[in-house]
């Protein structure tokens, strides 16, 4: 009992939420900088960027957008379920979110695989020989920015897995929801970044 009381004394939901918001702010600065770099190069190489974008699969990009939007909804619903003390529903919704994140990564893996099979990847001989400097810049930014986003998806999976385990164990519940709430905040960030990435790369005109 004394251990539980000691643990509760150090429970600081507001502090953890402020920490998460500060982290999200730094991530927004990082991707904001990349978006600025992208915008500058796009302005300088408009025709080349448009030509390179035609190599991307818009259907896969749109599918991944839908997947992330649904996953953002399910993780928000899991937080609501936790607040209502619906543990089983919380777990199911978190598991659905986790699976949707995995599906996103699988889609991205196959999408990247097709590009690699066609010789489209940073430093490839095909790109050096067949593509203009503008197209090379486009795909360089594409791989860097979508790859960085994929790493954030992986980090989100780790955070969600940790939150799921805590919910199942009972240490995250209606009175101590901050871990799940922070996981939701992080996942909304991942979703928001993709909402910008999708039109920039796949719907470029």
Q: Where do the domains of the chain lie, and which CATH numbers do they carry?
A: 15-202 (1.20.120.80)
Q: What is the mean pLDDT of residues 130-137?
A: 92
d(CA 8, CA 4): 6
pTM equals 0.89
Q: Does residue 105 carry a pLDDT above 90?
A: yes
The CA–CA distances, whole Å, from 171 to 82, 90, 93, 124 equal 12, 13, 18, 50
Q: What is the mean pLDDT of residues 23-31?
A: 92
User: What confidence tier does 56 reach under pLDDT thresholds 50, 70, 90?
Assistant: very high
Q: What is the mean pLDDT of residues 68-83?
A: 97
Q: Does residue 20 carry a pLDDT above 70?
A: yes
* Share above pLDDT 90 across residues of the chain, in percent, rounded to a whole number: 82
For residue 167 the two structure tokens come to 């919910």
């Amino acid at each position: 009992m004394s251990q539980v009381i000691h643990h509760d004394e150090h429970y600081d939901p507001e502090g953890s939420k402020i920490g998460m918001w500060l982290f999200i702010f730094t991530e927004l600065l990082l991707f904001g900088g990349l978006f600025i770099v992208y915008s500058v190069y796009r302005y300088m190489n408009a025709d080349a960027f448009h030509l390179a974008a035609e190599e991307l699969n818009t259907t896969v990009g749109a599918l991944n957008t839908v997947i992330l939007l649904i996953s953002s909804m399910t993780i928000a619903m899991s937080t609501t379920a936790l607040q209502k003390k619906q543990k089983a529903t919380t777990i199911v919704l978190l598991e659905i979110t986790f699976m949707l994140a995995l599906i996103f990564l699988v889609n991205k893996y196959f999408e990247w695989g097709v590009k690699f099979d066609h010789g489209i990847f940073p430093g490839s001989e095909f790109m050096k020989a067949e593509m203009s400097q503008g197209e090379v810049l486009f795909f360089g930014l594409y791989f860097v920015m979508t790859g960085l986003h994929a790493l954030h998806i992986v980090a989100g999976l780790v955070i969600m897995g940790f939150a799921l385990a805590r919910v199942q164990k009972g240490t995250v519940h209606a009175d101590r929801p901050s871990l799940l709430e922070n996981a939701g905040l992080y996942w909304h960030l991942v979703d928001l970044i993709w909402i910008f990435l999708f039109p920039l790369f796949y719907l470029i005109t």
